[in-house]
Chain A
Amino acid sequence: MTKEEIKTVILDIIAEIAPDEDLSDIKSDVPFRDQLELDSMDFLDIVMELRKRYGIEVPEDDYQQLATLDSSVAYLEPRMKDL
């Protein structure tokens, strides 16, 4: 997948986890937590959805890599490039 595709995947997942959130002007370098009403349980679900949909395992120690859209894409790109 390309960076753009990965971005779409992440936003898709967030839209499903938190259907009432407005994702139209997400800033990609600002933590999700500062612009959306998401808590740690929701973050776990981002990880779980990545596993469920694409078989990607994100170990607990790496959860913080998914804090912003940019950092998520950077972290996931090597793991999703062959998908």
Chain B
Amino acid sequence: MDYDVIIIGAGMSGLAAGIRLAYYDRKVCILERHHRVGGLSSFYRRKGHDIDVGLHAMTNYVPRSVKLTPLPKLLRQLKLRPEDFDLRQQRVSVTRFPEKSLRFSNDFDLFVQEVRENFPRQIDNFQKLVKTIFEYDELALDAKPLSARQIVSSYITDPLLVEMLFCPLMFYGSSQENDIEFGQFVIMFKGIYHEGFARPQAGIRQILDTLVRQYESHGGHLRLKCGVQSLQVSNGKVTALVLDNGEVLRAERIISSIGYIETLRLLSDYDPARFNCEEGRISLVEFIFVLDREPAHLGYDTTITFFNTSEKFHYQRPEDLVDLSSGVICCPNNFKFDKPLPEGMIRITNLANYQRWNDLNQEEYSEQKAAWQEKALQQALSFVPDFRDCIVFTDMFTPKTIYRYTGHLNGAVYGAPNKVKDGRTHLDNLFLCGTDQGFLGIVGSMLSGISMANLHVLQKT
């Protein structure tokens, strides 16, 4: 055997799993096809501008006195200190629908007060829902999937409030159209409304650099530009991994973070008829605007704006290339940083259709990118002061870009709709972590890697 464990994919979950295993002296290697770590949450530099992808904000921010919530839990498990992530809290975020707005910050009382003021008749129902949420064990690996819409609607009787509660949570972590699994809803509700948003001064690089440093310092191997071509199967086990370059590696156990179907497709005996798994449909476009000043200097203080332009929120794959009727506007500058970020930035995210983008030829693709950037910008001006004169650089990514860099089918940022909570596959030594295991978001994905490394390796050997 070359390794005790090989992990496929150096995203947040793969790196977190790797740290656990390396720290406890397992011989472990992470294989990453891209030339950079991060997966769905990564970064790039173009024309002198540093740009994060994936990270708008880290969820689950809590003060240091709080211990058993996801963020401190994962810091403990990864043997990191809070200062390693260097998180700074958000200012304030908002969900805006035509008639109502709900602001929220890292102080849950603000959110409760906003619900009370905007939906006075629902406040008791809301409090009951909150109680249910806090009594639910969202990290149980054996919980059966429940519809959050059904549960939430059994408490909240005003459909507008239901839509407004769901909007941010779905945008930041639902792989299902128009619904979200209740456990995932609870994770997102606590992480976004009760705990809150934060961001490292240096963005996603801070998190990734910390994880890689920790992993390598405990002896973990990390190989970039090293994709897995196939997994050789025999007698119900993976016996070898064949890499893109033809090299063959062997490991006792394999943990794959690349997605369930994406992993199955690597199997030497893969037979689509044997597995009935749905592909993910939810993908996004993001328009990035680098500005010559901080948005705060234009009077815009909001960290994240979630908007929807009608009473009903449609979280689904659009017919068109992009759905501008809803979206997320993130201003990375609007966190409580000690020193301002080097550049002003506005990022606009909308639902998008992978197939439609993929069907375009190269010329059409460029034209459509430019056209939708203009439309998305126009739409955002209903929520953000006019920043058009301050733009110094623009860029964007589409579902096609997401597929190209992460290998997620359909550019599905949150993976397939049905999750495999216990991470098991039909093969004895092949396990899943990450997006398709089902803890989503940046904090969720790290917890996913930790839980799967604990459950399938550390507790067993």
Write the residues of chain A forming the contact surface with B, with a CB cutoff of 8 angstroms.
Answer: 17-18, 20, 37, 39, 41-42, 44-45, 48, 51-52, 60
Contact = CB atoms under 8 A, between A and B. Distances in A.
B366 interface: no
Contacts of B67: 18, 20, 37
A58 B205 CA distance: 38
Contacts, number: 27
Given A20-B67, A39-B68, A45 B77 contact: yes
B76 A51 contact: no
Interface string B219-254: 000000000000000000000000000000000000
A39 B25 CA distance: 22
Contacts of A20: 64, 67
Interface string B444-461: 000000100010001110
B73 interface: yes
Contact of A39 (B64, B73, B450, B460): B73
A44 B454 contact: yes
A44 B452 CA distance: 13
Nearest to B450: A41
A48 B458 CA distance: 8
Contacts of A48: 24, 458
Contacts of A51: 24
A60 B456 CA distance: 12
B292 to A, nearest CB: 43
A48 B320 CA distance: 52
19 contacts: A17-B76, A18-B67, A18-B76, A37-B67, A37-B68, A39-B68, A41-B77, A41-B450, A41-B454, A44-B454, A45-B76, A45-B77, A48-B24, A48-B458, A51-B24, A52-B24, A52-B25, A60-B459, A60-B460
Contact of A41 (B24, B64, B76, B460): B76
B233 to A, nearest CB: 27
A17 B67 CA distance: 12
Contacts of B459: 44, 60
Nearest to A51: B24
B461 to A, nearest CB: 9
A71 to B, nearest CB: 20
Contacts of B68: 37, 39
Interface of B: 24-25, 64, 67-68, 73, 76-77, 450, 454, 458-460
B71 to A, nearest CB: 13
Contacts of B73: 39, 41
B409 to A, nearest CB: 32
Contacts of B460: 60
Nearest to A60: B459
B391 to A, nearest CB: 45
B100 to A, nearest CB: 38
Nearest to B67: A37
Nearest to B25: A52
A37 B24 CA distance: 22
A36 to B, nearest CB: 9
A51 to B, nearest CB: 7
A74 B64 CA distance: 35
B302 to A, nearest CB: 33
Contacts of B454: 41, 44
Given A44-B458, A48-B458, 19 more contacts: A17-B76, A18-B67, A20-B64, A20-B67, A37-B67, A39-B68, A41-B77, A41-B450, A41-B454, A42-B76, A44-B454, A45-B76, A45-B77, A48-B24, A51-B24, A52-B24, A52-B25, A60-B459, A60-B460
Which has the most chain B C-beta neighbours within 10 Å: A17, A18, A48, A60?
A48
Nearest to A39: B68
A20 B81 CA distance: 11
A29 B64 CA distance: 29
Contacts of B76: 17-18, 41-42, 45
Nearest to B74: A41
Nearest to B66: A37
Nearest to A16: B79
A41 B460 CA distance: 14
A52 B25 CA distance: 7
The 3 closest A-B pairs by CB, nearest first: A37-B67, A48-B24, A60-B459
B460 to A, nearest CB: 8
A39 B24 CA distance: 19
A18 B460 CA distance: 23
A52 B79 CA distance: 14
Contacts of A17: 76
A9 to B, nearest CB: 17
A17 B76 CA distance: 7
Nearest to A21: B67
A60 B24 CA distance: 16
A17 B64 CA distance: 15
Nearest to B459: A60
